[in-house]
Amino acid sequence: MVTKIVFAIVNLISVLVLNGCILRIHHYQFNFVKILRRLMMAAAMTVISNSMIALSGGMIFAEVSYILFYVSMDWVSFYLWSFCLKYTDHNNLFNKLHRLVALLLFADSISLILNLVFKHEFSVYTALDNEGTLYYLARATSLYNSHLILDYIVIGAGVIFVISKMIKSHSYYRFRYAIVLTVFGLLIVLNYMYIILNMYLDWSVLLYAIAGATLYFMTIIYTPGRLRNRMMSHAVDDMDEGLILFDIDGNCAYYNEFVKRNFADELDRVIAGDHSASSYDRLIEVSRTDVSQAVIYYENNVGSNFRIRLEPLIDAKEHNLGSFFLIEDITEETRMMNELKEAREAADKASEYKSTFLANMSHEIRTPINAVLGMNEMILRECEDKDILSYAENIKASGGALLDLINDILDFSKIEAGKMELIDNEYGPKNMIKDTYMMLRRRATDKGLRFGIKFDEEIPAVLLGDEKRIRQVLSNILSNAIKYTKEGSVNTVIRFERIDDDNISLVMEISDTGIGISEENQKVLFDSFQRVDMEHNRNIEGTGLGLAITKQIVEMMQGSITVTSEVGKGSNFTVSIPQRVLDNKPSGKLGASTAEMKEKYKVTFTAPDAKILVVDDVELNIMVVTGLLKNTKVMIDSATKGMEAYEMCKNIKYDLILMDHMMPYPDGVETFRMIREEGLNKDTKVVVLTANAISGVEEEYRAIGFDGYLSKPVKGADLEGMLEQFLPKELVIMEE
Ligand code: ADP
């Protein structure tokens, strides 16, 4: 009885072990896993029925248990065969045969079950000993023997596939197949011994658990260490990166194929540790002394580029094993980077050329316009004929428009090149607004538009900011409003919002009753070169740059610009620009339109005793200046070359010099320097009069030492203003 209980417990442990394996292999994806699980289930069933035989308490129970045992054995055989085929990748053969084999074993199982009735396979006998009643198989028929033979054939057929696979496979794998075969072999031998020895307890099934666990381990978990090393070194050799391993003394322990391929000539040096001065060797030096990470870039002798990283090799217990180089081929990357760099340089060059071109163009265009507008101004001053005066007014307006255009393009290219700078100065917002408003008033009233302005008197009187740019913003928006309004009015509200004691937001709201802008167009309004609603605006001239520049300027000042508009009703632009307050005193009323442009020119002063020098390589420009200053009666000398001016300054003391910049050598700046260095005309003010009008140049000229700056085309009033400012006071006689 004790033996039986021990036997049953051992069998139970076997079943549990098998069950453990079944649960674990569940996660794996190999194609034989499903079969292996079923094999283990059938094996577990065999073990259970084996226990039932031992514990059976009656003839019928014993016979049923034996039948269950042999039927389970049939299916162990079937799944073992299936496993062998699938494990050795004979899927096709398996698909072809498995139904036939299953059918044979199924027939055998039925025959075994029918033994209950016909007793044609085996009989169960009872015997008595001191342990109680024992049931065992005493007589085996030929059918029973054929059942055994069928099982052995099926298992044997499977085993042959494993043997053939073992012969064909790489030697590293043979060990694994050998173990699998040993397990199968042992099972068969033990089973056979049980039959020969006619034991009443089949201890061989105990091995099922060991066999199951061994199968699980050998087929799924185990990879031979040598195999893993071999695989790793092959994988490392096939890598697209180089690997060199060094031991702690810096001796080369391993390098892969990549290194061999790419450093053929340098290889010996690396391994031998020949320390010449190359950076590659320096890295090796580092590897011997300091294993903290380092990176170098290296070009081999056929021009390939590599990024070499040195890293320490430290194991899990923080022991230093050595170091390694990881080498990446960055030839392609380097080539692309170089191309990008070249492309960028080319683009920068092109942009530089563009800027120079624009500066030159501006200069070239301004020079003839200077003559056109200068001469035109003389017509306006001297002509009494109404028709001719109106022609001259048109020339003046168109010339002005052309100048605006050039200024816009220049500003835009400045912004694009990131070279637009703000120059903050103190200024009175009242005068700035009034001037801008007055400048445009004529244009609006000529079109028959009402042109109103509301100015908040409380706006602080003195602010710090870039007055010129704010003026530009306001005049851009105002001139658009006038341009795109046929009838009705253009109204401006200038107010402010306090941010704190020292800062305000200057708010300018410009509304018109013009054509309006659709919502869709409002989105692209501030994009460069974007002119909207071309169907209606075809006849209105413009470049689509004005608002783009305006927005950029406003944003540079940390301000904002918004638009609301309704097609057919009009538009409303609101600009808000933060400004520092320098004097909080209120600005006061804008005042009546006293500053309205003079209808007819009148000279502001005369200075018959003053003598000035005008230097310009273009005679026409000298004529313009001379003409514009005619009424002031100043004496004018002129020079068309820098050298000539320099010589003249040696002999004559002038009261003011007007100097062009762009001239053949020596140019205006060089001439100015020569005059100053020689100490000629020491106290005489020098004003640069130039077509170079790119924003910011005025400051550059002042930095060189010029006292004043006038851009061409020069306006008569500005020229007179400059003279009035710089001529010695005693020589100037103001006119009433
Ligand atoms: P443009 O040189 O064409 O005037 P802008 O950048 O100043 O360029 O303006 C872009 C476009 O916005 C204009 O072409 C015009 O269609 C539209 N626009 C600007 N201001 C107004 C306005 N006050 N009323 C209607 N349309 C306007």
Q: For residues 205 and 248, state if they share a domain.
A: no
Top-ranked range on mean pLDDT: pick from 4-8, 60-64, 340-344, 406-410:
340-344
Q: For residues 169 and 307, state if they share a domain.
A: no
pLDDT at 460: 94
Q: Total structural domains in the chain? A: 4
Mean pLDDT of 147-164: 90
CATH number of the domain to which 705 belongs: 3.40.50.2300
SS3 per residue for 221-243: HCCCHHHHHHHHHHHHHHCCEEE
Does position 534 have pLDDT exceeding 60, yes or no?
A: yes
Atom of ligand 1 nearest to the CA of 530: 10
Q: Measured between alpha carbons, how far is 363 from 413 in angstroms, rounded to an integer?
A: 15
Q: Measured between alpha carbons, how far is 606 from 734 in angstroms, rounded to an integer?
A: 6
Atom of ligand 1 nearest to the CA of 548: 6
In short, whether 544's Cβ falls inside 6 Å of ligand 1 is: yes
Element (H, E) at 299: strand 294-299
pLDDT at 668: 92
Q: For residues 72 and 214, state if they share a domain.
A: yes
Altogether, the residues listed in the chain come to a count of 736
Alpha carbon of 523 to ligand 1 centroid (Å): 12
Alpha carbon of 464 to ligand 1 centroid (Å): 29
Residue of minimum CA distance from atom 11 in ligand 1? 531
Amino acid at 438: M
Q: For residues 137 and 282, state if they share a domain.
A: no
Alpha carbon of 412 to ligand 1 centroid (Å): 16
DSSP state of 714: P
| Residue labelled with tokens 């794998």 | 173
Q: Band the pLDDT of 144: cuts 50, 70, 90.
A: confident
In short, whether 537's Cβ falls inside 6 Å of ligand 1 is: yes
Q: For residues 99 and 189, state if they share a domain.
A: yes
Does position 458 have pLDDT exceeding 90, yes or no?
A: yes
pLDDT at 706: 94
Alpha carbon of 428 to ligand 1 centroid (Å): 29
Q: Measured between alpha carbons, how far is 668 from 697 in angstroms, rounded to an integer?
A: 14
Q: For residues 201 and 249, state if they share a domain.
A: no
Q: Measured between alpha carbons, how far is 341 from 577 in angstroms, rounded to an integer?
A: 39
Q: Measured between alpha carbons, how far is 270 from 161 in angstroms, rounded to an integer?
A: 50
Q: Is residue 570 part of a domain?
A: yes
pLDDT at 597: 44
Q: Is residue 364 part of a domain?
A: no
CATH number of the domain to which 461 belongs: 3.30.565.10
Q: Is residue 694 part of a domain?
A: yes
Q: Which of 269, 302, 329 is the last residue of a domain?
A: 329
In short, whether 488's Cβ falls inside 6 Å of ligand 1 is: no
Alpha carbon of 187 to ligand 1 centroid (Å): 95
3-state secondary structure of 541: coil
| Residue labelled with tokens 């010099």 | 657
Widest CA span in the chain: 157
Residue of minimum CA distance from atom 17 in ligand 1? 532
Q: For residues 227 and 244, state if they share a domain.
A: no
Residue of minimum CA distance from atom 21 in ligand 1? 480
Does position 271 have pLDDT exceeding 90, yes or no?
A: no
Cβ-proximal residues to 482 (8 Å cutoff; 6+ apart), any chain: 440, 443, 444, 447, 449, 451, 490, 512
In short, whether 572's Cβ falls inside 6 Å of ligand 1 is: no
In short, whether 551's Cβ falls inside 6 Å of ligand 1 is: no
Alpha carbon of 489 to ligand 1 centroid (Å): 17
Q: Kindly report, residue by residue over 537-550, the tens digit of the pLDDT.
A: 666 666 678 898 89
In short, whether 484's Cβ falls inside 6 Å of ligand 1 is: yes
3-state secondary structure of 617: coil
Does position 444 have pLDDT exceeding 70, yes or no?
A: yes
pLDDT at 130: 54
Atom of ligand 1 nearest to the CA of 481: 23
Q: Among 508, 517, 554, say which to mutate for ligand 1: greatest number of ligand atoms within 8 Å of CB.
A: 517
Residue 239: CB atoms within 10 A of its CB come to: 14
Alpha carbon of 433 to ligand 1 centroid (Å): 21
Q: Is residue 722 part of a domain?
A: yes
Element (H, E) at 661: none
Residue 218: CB atoms within 10 A of its CB come to: 17
Q: Measured between alpha carbons, how far is 444 from 486 in angstroms, rounded to an integer?
A: 10
SS3 per residue for 134-175: EEEEEEECHHHHHHHHHHHHHHHHHHHHHHHHHHHCCHHHHH
- Which of 80-94, 130-144, 620-634 is least confident? 130-144
Q: For residues 131 and 267, state if they share a domain.
A: no
Q: Measured between alpha carbons, how far is 102 from 95 in angstroms, rounded to an integer?
A: 12
pLDDT at 278: 47
Top-ranked range on mean pLDDT: pick from 165-169, 185-189, 342-346, 526-530:
342-346
Q: For residues 439 and 524, state if they share a domain.
A: yes
Alpha carbon of 535 to ligand 1 centroid (Å): 13
Residue of minimum CA distance from atom 25 in ligand 1? 516
CB 84 within 8 A of CB 166: no
pLDDT at 579: 95
Atom of ligand 1 nearest to the CA of 537: 16
Burial of residue 642 (CB within 10 Å: 0-12, 13-18, 19+) is: buried
**What domain range is 682 assigned to?**
605-734
Q: Which of 165, 193, 192 has its CA nearest to residue 178?
A: 165
Amino acid at 344: R
Q: Measured between alpha carbons, how far is 550 from 526 in angstroms, rounded to an integer?
A: 8
- Which of 197-206, 511-520, 664-673 is least confident? 197-206
Q: Which of 175, 199, 231 is the last residue of a domain?
A: 231
Q: Among 415, 443, 483, 484, say which to mutate for ligand 1: greatest number of ligand atoms within 8 Å of CB.
A: 484
Alpha carbon of 531 to ligand 1 centroid (Å): 6
Comparison of pLDDT for 297 and 337, the residue scoring more: 337
Residue 394: CB atoms within 10 A of its CB come to: 11
Atom of ligand 1 nearest to the CA of 543: 2
Tokens at 429, concatenated:
């917002």
Alpha carbon of 480 to ligand 1 centroid (Å): 6
CATH number of the domain to which 187 belongs: 1.20.1070.10
Comparison of pLDDT for 728 and 417, the residue scoring more: 728
Residue-averaged pLDDT of the chain:
84
Alpha carbon of 554 to ligand 1 centroid (Å): 17
Q: For residues 12 and 161, state if they share a domain.
A: yes
In short, whether 531's Cβ falls inside 6 Å of ligand 1 is: yes
Q: Is residue 401 part of a domain?
A: no
Phi (first) and psi of residue 96, to 5 degrees: -70, -40
Residue of minimum CA distance from atom 16 in ligand 1? 532
Alpha carbon of 368 to ligand 1 centroid (Å): 29
Atom of ligand 1 nearest to the CA of 512: 23
Q: Which of 565, 527, 570, 566 has its CA nearest to residue 548?
A: 527
In short, whether 549's Cβ falls inside 6 Å of ligand 1 is: no
pLDDT at 532: 66
Q: Measured between alpha carbons, how far is 461 from 166 in angstroms, rounded to an integer?
A: 101
Q: Is residue 53 part of a domain?
A: yes
In short, whether 363's Cβ falls inside 6 Å of ligand 1 is: no
Alpha carbon of 156 to ligand 1 centroid (Å): 94
Q: Measured between alpha carbons, how far is 543 from 443 in angstroms, rounded to an integer?
A: 19
pLDDT at 313: 81
Atom of ligand 1 nearest to the CA of 544: 8
Alpha carbon of 432 to ligand 1 centroid (Å): 23
Mean pLDDT of 206-226: 81
Q: Is the pTM of this model over 0.85?
A: no
Q: Is residue 125 part of a domain?
A: yes
Q: Measured between alpha carbons, how far is 553 from 660 in angstroms, rounded to an integer?
A: 30
Q: Which of 14, 5, 123 has its CA nearest to residue 55?
A: 5
Atom of ligand 1 nearest to the CA of 408: 2
In short, whether 481's Cβ falls inside 6 Å of ligand 1 is: yes
Q: Is residue 710 part of a domain?
A: yes
Q: Kindly report, residue by residue over 228-263, the tens digit of the pLDDT.
A: 888 888 898 888 898 888 877 777 788 888 888 887
Residue of minimum CA distance from atom 20 in ligand 1? 480
Comparison of pLDDT for 596 and 84, the residue scoring more: 84
Alpha carbon of 541 to ligand 1 centroid (Å): 10
Q: For residues 23 and 157, state if they share a domain.
A: yes
Q: Which of 314, 329, 344 is the last residue of a domain?
A: 329
Q: Measured between alpha carbons, how far is 676 from 648 in angstroms, rounded to an integer?
A: 14
Q: For residues 253 and 219, state if they share a domain.
A: no
Tokens at 252, concatenated:
């080369």
- B/e letters for 469-493, b = 16+ CB within 10 Å, e = fewer, are bbbbbbbbbbbbbbbbbeeebbbbe
Alpha carbon of 411 to ligand 1 centroid (Å): 17
Does position 97 have pLDDT exceeding 90, yes or no?
A: yes
Q: Kindly report, residue by residue over 558-613, the tens digit of the pLDDT.
A: 999 999 999 999 999 999 999 999 999 998 888 754 444 445 677 889 999 999 99
Comparison of pLDDT for 349 and 543, the residue scoring more: 349
| Residue labelled with tokens 């170098």 | 296
pLDDT at 279: 46
From residue 518, alpha-carbon distances to 522, 570, 620 in Å are 6, 10, 48
pLDDT at 35: 92
Q: What is the DSSP string of 303-325?
A: S-EEEEEEEEEE-TT--EEEEEE
